[in-house]
A and B are shown apart, each in its own frame.
Chain A
Amino acid sequence: MHTTAQKLNGSEIFFECLRREKVDTIFGYPGGALLKVYETLYDVTDIKHILVRHEQGATHMAEGYARATGKPGVVLVTSGPGATNTVTGITNAYMDSSPMVIFTGQVPSSLIGNDAFQEADIVGITRPITKHNFLVKDVRDLATTIRKAFFLATNGRPGPVLVDMPKDILNATCEFIWPDSVDIRGFKPTITCHANQIEKAAKKIAAAKRPLLYIGGGVISSNASKELTLLAKALNIPVTMTLQGLGAFPASEPLNMGMLGMHGTYWANQAVNKCDLLIAVGARFDDRVTGKVDTFAPQAYKIHNDIDPTNVDKNIKVDLPVVGDSKDFLSQLIKALPEKSENHDTWLAEIDVWKKQCPLTFTVENDSLKTEFVISTVSEETEGNAVVVTDVGQHQMWTSQYYHFNNPRSIITSGGLGTMGYGLPAAIGAAFGIQDRPVVLFCGDGGFMMNIQELVTAVHYKVPIKIFLLNNSFLGMVRQWQELFHQEKYSFTDLDDSNPDFLKVVEAFGCKSMRAENPAQAEAAIKEALAYNEGPVFVEFRVIKKDMVFPMVPAGGSISDMLLERLNPKTMV
């Protein structure tokens, strides 16, 4: 133990711990249970506190920051409603394995359980949606608890960890002792992959005729893009990625197959169907990827690397599980591979045929605008190098199809939970972490309203995000399902009569704003927005109402049953 004989109060200890954890930015909102913390914060100059306008916004900002930088996102909110408002954001981070530490104020220890003013059992509420959580009962435990929280959030499979701090603990004083190391006997994640498993995997890879790499967010969070690129190119193995895996392998590489799954590319899904070896790395066989599990990759020997053993054999039975960090898995594999392996030219040629059969295309008309065109144009203008944040829905899927990600940590999107309202705050958070690349937000008109209050935060701190609102005056993805599967009963998805005038709203917030209604206006607005760096800039794209995302695998269907277009759904497959 490293001792400094200094006596500090709980609030001072809190900030001292953040310094030790090298936290430079926190997202928070003050309140009664946190008065002491905010009193201390008043004189803190080395940690930037971002004042949000709703605690949910703080959690999504922290997650955006975490995903863009790889560092844990930190949230500070008060007890009761402050704490309960974080629940959606915490769940989102849990589902997408984002490292986050959430600090909640709590009523004084003596009042806990008494239904005190602004009391909520946030430790109880967040138990199933955090990796772990703590209630601090003694100021002498505060530093160790915070150390443990950061350790848990960032080691093994990352995730959110919550620390609940009663008001009296934050006022009480004790000696500040920062533990040099952390030992949690119930938490020993396997980082290094077993050598035998690697050897088996290497043999299978060397012998495979039609191998396919299926890459998930684990490759991004373990910073293993370099290793992945090396491996894929050395052996000529095509790479398909999940929504969270996009960017792990550059879109500019010919081996890049884009996304697989429900709205994945035709050729990626065909390759899954026909491959003889599927190498899943840092991916979890989510239902949006597999469709009907019995018919997923039916001919393939399946290798599955994941850091979380619970992901192995959860949805799909695999032939060779390799538990461990994806970076370790890929680097060990590169070393273990024999000099000679199969030539995959025939396989790649086969894939090329599928690619030519059903490419991703859309039509452009002079007097109307499509989301696909907007995203495509932004992709070209930024050369695939922006940090792209999305909300949830059709525009999110089109982003996966038409934005060509060339770098890891470049798509920040709510994948597991599908949280509408995620985009705007997540983009703000990402921009606090990343200054050398543009941060672009694609958002629908439905989701934009769900956390619109954070526009104040963006304007106040002059956060230079590009807010691209794709306004089709519909909850577009739900509308698409209603059209395809629910007899065109557009039940409560048409927002045309109720949406506000977005330009006026955004202007009232003090944000620069533009509108585009055709491709020419759109191109001009995108260029202008990308060149503007004084603060946030907003462009409303009035896109056509009834556009649909294709290809599409109907929920629970086999990925060989892809719908390729609206009118003759099953003709192509």
Chain B
Amino acid sequence: MKHLISVLVENKFGTLNRVASMFSARGFNLQSISIGETEDPEISRMTIVTRGDDQIVSQVLKQLNRLIDTIKVTDLTHQPHVERELLLMTLKLSKATQHEIFELINVFKGKVVDIKQKSITIEVIGSPDKINTTIDIFRPYGIRELARSGAVAIHRGE
């Protein structure tokens, strides 16, 4: 099953490489990985989405812990958490479709970030599932380009 893992790491060069190469060296699945500085500039937070049975995920967690540059590893999957992903997507625009497209943007609580005569770029934020649905729904209108940030996640506050 899918697991969402949050990892606090030293904010040093090479840390992302250490984590990513551990996944490939050990043959673990790596669906997405995102990284950014935390409130402490010496520490970054990584959000990792991986798939595997319990035995594999337990190894993933232990192998992550074993890296010297990881400070804390948390499997958020079964804990209260918030998970978000950002989608940027440029769609073809025509007189015939623009009305429907604008309606759908509203449905998905998206934002228009750029608009040209024949194209429109939108931003949608949500869970990876919502992002998947968004992409599916807009696909028939013609997707020119898209970029996903990968999931970021955090514990819900107490």
* C-alpha gap A184/B18 in the complex (Å): 17
A362 at the interface (CB under 8 A from B): no
B68 touches A132 (CB 8 A): yes
B21 touches A128 (CB 8 A): yes
B67 touches A186 (CB 8 A): yes
> How many residues on A have C-beta within 8 angstroms of the other chain's C-beta atoms?
19
Residue on A nearest B25 in the bound complex, by CB? A128
Residues 32-87 of B contacting A (Cβ, < 8 Å): 55, 58-59, 62-63, 65-71
| Cross-interface CB contact of B66 among A184, A185, A310, cutoff 8 Å | A310
**Interface residues on chain B, size class:** 20 to 34
Set of chain A residues within 8 Å of B21, measured between Cβ atoms? 127-128
Set of chain A residues within 8 Å of B69, measured between Cβ atoms? 132, 186
B22 touches A128 (CB 8 A): yes
* C-alpha gap A540/B125 in the complex (Å): 73
B97 at the interface (CB under 8 A from A): no
A308 at the interface (CB under 8 A from B): yes
* C-alpha gap A309/B60 in the complex (Å): 12
Set of chain B residues within 8 Å of A317, measured between Cβ atoms? 55
* C-alpha gap A336/B25 in the complex (Å): 40
* C-alpha gap A310/B17 in the complex (Å): 20
* C-alpha gap A313/B67 in the complex (Å): 18
Residues 304-329 of A contacting B (Cβ, < 8 Å): 308-310, 312-314, 317
Set of chain A residues within 8 Å of B27, measured between Cβ atoms? none
Chain A 30-43 interface mask (CB, 8 Å, partner B; 1/0): 00000000000000
A184 touches B68 (CB 8 A): yes
A127 touches B68 (CB 8 A): no
Set of chain B residues within 8 Å of A128, measured between Cβ atoms? 21-22, 25
Set of chain B residues within 8 Å of A313, measured between Cβ atoms? 55, 58-59
Set of chain B residues within 8 Å of A308, measured between Cβ atoms? 66
Chain A 278-307 interface mask (CB, 8 Å, partner B; 1/0): 000000000000000000000000000000
* C-alpha gap A222/B97 in the complex (Å): 71
A131 at the interface (CB under 8 A from B): yes
Chain A 156-189 interface mask (CB, 8 Å, partner B; 1/0): 0000000000000000000000000000111100
A314 touches B66 (CB 8 A): no
Residue on A nearest B73 in the bound complex, by CB? A186
Set of chain A residues within 8 Å of B22, measured between Cβ atoms? 128
Chain B 7-30 interface mask (CB, 8 Å, partner A; 1/0): 001100010011001100100000
A186 touches B18 (CB 8 A): no
Asked if A187 meets B68 with Cβ closer than 8 Å, knowing A128-B22, A309-B62, the reply is: yes
Set of chain A residues within 8 Å of B62, measured between Cβ atoms? 309-310, 312
B55 touches A186 (CB 8 A): no
The listed residue with most B CB atoms (<10 A of its CB), out of A135, A187, A308, is A187
* C-alpha gap A135/B9 in the complex (Å): 18
Chain A 133-146 interface mask (CB, 8 Å, partner B; 1/0): 00100000000000
* C-alpha gap A300/B70 in the complex (Å): 36
* C-alpha gap A135/B58 in the complex (Å): 31
A131 touches B68 (CB 8 A): yes
A478 at the interface (CB under 8 A from B): no
* C-alpha gap A310/B28 in the complex (Å): 14
A121 to chain B, nearest CB (A): 10
B71 touches A186 (CB 8 A): yes
B113 to chain A, nearest CB (A): 35
The listed residue with most A CB atoms (<10 A of its CB), out of B63, B65, B68, B69, is B68
* C-alpha gap A152/B67 in the complex (Å): 11
A310 touches B18 (CB 8 A): no
The listed residue with most A CB atoms (<10 A of its CB), out of B21, B55, B62, B70, is B62
A456 at the interface (CB under 8 A from B): no
Residue on B nearest A123 in the bound complex, by CB? B14
Asked if A185 meets B14 with Cβ closer than 8 Å, knowing A127-B21, A310-B62, the reply is: no
| Cross-interface CB contact of B65 among A152, A184, A309, cutoff 8 Å | A309
Residues 69-115 of B contacting A (Cβ, < 8 Å): 69-71
B25 touches A185 (CB 8 A): no
* C-alpha gap A131/B22 in the complex (Å): 12
The listed residue with most A CB atoms (<10 A of its CB), out of B18, B25, B66, B69, is B66
B68 touches A314 (CB 8 A): no
B43 to chain A, nearest CB (A): 9
Residue on B nearest A128 in the bound complex, by CB? B25
Set of chain A residues within 8 Å of B10, measured between Cβ atoms? 186
Residues 102-148 of A contacting B (Cβ, < 8 Å): 123-124, 127-128, 131-132, 135
28 pairs, CB–CB < 8 Å, chain A vs chain B: A123-B14, A127-B18, A127-B21, A128-B25, A131-B68, A132-B68, A132-B69, A135-B14, A152-B68, A184-B68, A186-B9, A186-B10, A186-B68, A186-B69, A186-B70, A186-B71, A187-B68, A308-B66, A309-B62, A309-B66, A310-B59, A310-B62, A310-B66, A312-B62, A313-B58, A313-B59, A314-B59, A317-B55
| Top 4 A-B pairs, shortest CB-CB distance | A132-B68, A310-B62, A128-B25, A186-B71
Q: Enumerate chain B interface residues (CB-CB to A < 8 A).
A: 9-10, 14, 17-18, 21-22, 25, 55, 58-59, 62-63, 65-71
Beyond A132-B69, A186-B10, list 18 extra A-B contacts (CB 8 Å): A127-B17, A127-B18, A127-B21, A128-B21, A131-B68, A135-B14, A152-B68, A184-B68, A185-B71, A186-B9, A186-B71, A308-B66, A309-B62, A309-B65, A309-B66, A310-B63, A313-B55, A314-B59
